[in-house]
Amino acid sequence: MVRFNTEYIEGYVIEPLARKMLKDNPQLQKEFEEALSNKGFANNPQARLSWFYKRSPYFDPNYLLYPVGREL
């Protein structure tokens, strides 16, 4: 299971999605193969799931991002 605080996606969900993402996007396939050249990444299932999750339509890059302002 990939967890990002309370936002996450289960491995059994992301795995078939990742296969489809690779099939549908040759550029993503190339980037993933390049990432696999890093042995630490290649040997870490959680890192690989996270890699796909961050590139999926379900990832929210603004999760836990709050606007902060300063009054002058």
pTM: 0.75
Q: Using CB atoms within 10 A of its CB, is residue 56 exposed (0-12), middle (13-18) or buried (19+)?
A: middle
Cα gap 67→27, rounded to integer Å: 34
Burial code (b: 16+ CB inside 10 Å, e: under 16) for 27-47 equals eeeeebeeeeeeeeeeeeeee
Q: What is the pLDDT along the chain (72 residues), one digit of tens a residue?
A: 555 455 667 889 899 999 999 999 999 999 999 999 999 999 999 899 999 999 998 888 888 788 887 777
Give residue limits of the domains in the chain.
Answer: 24-57
